[in-house]
Structure 1
């Protein structure tokens, strides 16, 4: 069965999503697009070889011949689009973050559950081959009990007041860099930890992008239910050192680390192993996994449940900074 997809939002992030659908024409086809900017919608419709165009996604949900939607909107618009799509009985792929508050997350969870649809969080970095391999090694018990995990995503961003757009507005982005790029190392941390996050302590910084409402850099410590500790490092302010890893972990029986292209790991008493991988288009892999999940009736790796945990870590980090204390995530409202 070919999955018919409607795009909600046709801005810049839509481009790698479309590339993903075009790579699997036998599995999926974008048949409708919606955007308040007509030119954006027309551009995306042309890129997919023709699609029905709507200015209002609610009209698209009511009239278009689609099985699923792909939400590529600014952060503050995610919740309403997810809820509307769920009520229209459409499956959902939503760009990160899932939404912006615990109350919004509860609405999302309720809508998805009541309407029996599949929601997948667009966490593209989980499709990197070193991530999949180290997750397998962790699950097989290769490293024993995991003690500490570190994930990073930092780069020198060329944003200025004229180019940052809605990301410079705290109400629209939901904070600053942490809830945007910082979302990637957060979901990666939780994926590798395989345990519920329970406490968060954070420090936020505005090193360089002074015009932003929110932070341009963040460091977050996370305590997990099994005692493991996670460390998230993320920034738009600087170029990281050449030795900065994408992720690393230390554990009872050994360690592992990766730059995103290679995986190095060692079990105590043995030699360090190094595996190199071919590069993959993580967005295309994400799209293919979403479509395949729908075709096979399989649960996505990261649903709204995982998305809510990721959001709570970030909201806990913001609360930690505001109140200058360690925040218990179960207390977030």
Structure 2
């Protein structure tokens, strides 16, 4: 049985917790959050007794019966809390993006190896069943050799969207705490991770990052990139305030188009849904096929990612994303921020690569949703 502690009990923790509550070989034994209301609400919902609820995360780390921790705190706290957890001998699953800088990322990766603990950067979109299915189709040669990937991020509104607390929104628009804007840097991690999942790390990134809603949102924006083998990609972010979406969480629609030498694959949803079409569509040889035999709720990606972490700990295998892999995606995201500020292309920089930050992620065979616990 893997005994977990969750550090940070904000809105997103509800999705993380279910992976452990539903896993036959995991249990949540302790939670920590400085907000007493969050602590009481999540502790009760997850069956954690009052003796296992802490306002200071250090008290949770002092427990000998905690094997691993899930860290779900504002970005500027990722590095110090992760390092404390590793010093306490705990395995770590850290919410994306892993850090505000590559120096912080390198510190955590090194500490994980030195302490002999497992370090996972929690990224759920590479475990989202429609994205995983698209990867299977690519690996089976359905569209030939990959040429490009195009990703669209389109927030709007929904009467069924989450009610996000004001405090949670406030730190996400404070660059000193978030590291960048809420759409291109924070949520953009998902999109850069998808591009990494299919093509590895880019070697050149160029970005225009706009501003709207009095500077609150970093859009409309467009990020384009080039890969070492010649493939290209792009991320377009546009906020449509009057666009009604179907969702149970964030009011946002995500779409991916992957083009190969023989065909095209579309993933038609992500956080929410706009199009009433199959979640995965394949065009090849003049014919169109749709695939609907998979879960499509955004929560399924959290369930699969969390289960994978437990299974990695149980089996002694590497998690996805490892700290090194998370650093590659962070380098991708930071290159976009750098390019937008300088107006020129930027190269993702990963420590220890001797200037070649690009090739290691290419063709990652990350786990499929089947068999993850």
TM-score norm. by structure 1 comes to: 0.89
1:77 and 2:94 correspond: no
Pair 78,161 (structure 1): closer, same or farther in 2 beyond 3 Å: closer
Q: CA deviation at 1:6?
A: 0.6
Correspondence for 1:292 among 311, 326, 331: 311
Deviations 1:20-62 (A, max 9, x none): 32222x2211101111222322222211112412222223212
Deviations 1:291-313 (A, max 9, x none): 11211222223111221111111
1:21 and 2:20 correspond: yes
Structure 1: where are the runs of 5+ without partners?
none
Correspondence for 1:283 among 298, 302, 307: 302
Match of 1:273 in 2: 289
Pair 248,211 (structure 1): closer, same or farther in 2 beyond 3 Å: closer
User: Residue 201 of structure 2 contacts residue 332 of structure 2 at CA under 8 Å; is this kept in 1?
Assistant: no
State which drifts further: 112-121 or 275-284. 275-284
User: Residue 134 of structure 2 contacts residue 267 of structure 2 at CA under 8 Å; is this kept in 1?
Assistant: no
Q: CA deviation at 1:75?
A: 1.0
Deviations 1:260-311 (A, max 9, x none): 35211133x3522211133342222222121112112222231112211111
1:179 and 2:185 correspond: yes
1:31 and 2:36 correspond: no
Match of 1:250 in 2: 259
2:349 alignment partner, SS class: helix
User: Residue 76 of structure 2 contacts residue 178 of structure 2 at CA under 8 Å; is this kept in 1?
Assistant: yes
Correspondence for 1:234 among 210, 234, 237: 237
Q: CA deviation at 1:319?
A: 0.8
User: How many angstroms apart in 2 are the aligned matches of 1:223 and 1:241?
Assistant: 33
Match of 2:171 in 1: 166
User: Residue 154 of structure 1 contacts residue 238 of structure 1 at CA under 8 Å; is this kept in 2?
Assistant: no
State which drifts further: 131-140 or 170-179. 131-140
User: Residue 69 of structure 2 contacts residue 85 of structure 2 at CA under 8 Å; is this kept in 1?
Assistant: yes
Match of 1:3 in 2: 2
Correspondence for 2:203 among 198, 204, 212: 198
State which drifts further: 301-310 or 279-288. 279-288
The alignment yields a C-alpha RMSD, in angstroms, of 2.6
Q: How many residues align?
A: 326
Deviations 1:193-215 (A, max 9, x none): 1x3321100010113x2143x62
